[in-house]
Amino acid sequence: MMSSMNRMASTIAAVATAGVLLMPMGTAHAQTTKVDDPADATGSLADIRTVRVRHGVDQVRVRATFTDLRKHGGGVTSAAVFIDTRPGRKGPELALVTGLEYGTDYTLVKVRRWKFVGEPITCDHRLRLDYRRDLMTFRVARSCFEDPRRVRVAMRMDDFTDRSHLITDWMTGRRQFTEWLTRG
């Protein structure tokens, strides 16, 4: 017959063992950065305000907010998210190109010297536009660009709603990237 002291010691040992077994082993994490962009695209409702990039184990996620993202803007407003994966090579390797109005399409393309080249890339990527929150969320599997160790992002918005002139807004400046992010 087990004494109450032995029972309590056994219970404590069992709880401690379960706690160790349930503890995550080497938890994976993602590196994240956020860039605030000033209100600098006067005349456009789609002025880029913030860009948050998360480089995770399986995907890269870019969340961008705008001044006033409209479902039906009455013109042509688009965005391009440029992804750089090779520090030794000038410029980005991939870009997501999308319209910002409801019903527009999006595509992932290769980039050379800041120009879109070739056919659209067919790999795991998604885009969501949330007009109530003025938010664009873009997710792309890391396998789309050969599982890079580091990434950085640049973003551009083009607004031709006025039809008399094009308004272009780069996140923090023309062809400026976020810091390099290493995956978790």
**Could you report the per-residue pLDDT of 170-184, keeping only the tens digit for each?**
999 999 999 999 976
Res. 27: pLDDT tops 80? no
Q: What is the token pair recorded at 120?
A: 């659209």
- According to the model, what pLDDT value does residue 3 have? 52
Distance CA 48, CA 51 (A): 8
146 closest CA partner among 60, 70, 64, 63: 60
Distance CA 33, CA 55 (A): 9
Rg (CA), the chain: 23
Q: Lowest-confidence range among 85-94, 103-112, 163-172?
A: 163-172
How long, in residues, is the chain? 184
Rounded to the nearest 10°, the torsion over CA 27, 30, 31, 34 is -140
Res. 61: pLDDT tops 50? yes
**The residue to which tokens 């040992």 are assigned:** 13
Which H or E run includes 150?
strand 150-159
Contact present, 128 and 136 (Cβ < 8 Å): yes
**Could you report the per-residue pLDDT of 103-158, keeping only the tens digit for each?**
889 999 999 999 999 999 999 999 999 999 999 999 999 889 887 889 999 999 99
Q: What is the chain's mean pLDDT, rounded? A: 83
64 closest CA partner among 145, 119, 151, 128: 128
Average pLDDT over residues 31-54: 89
Three-class secondary structure of residue 143 per DSSP: helix
Longest dimension (CA), the chain: 92
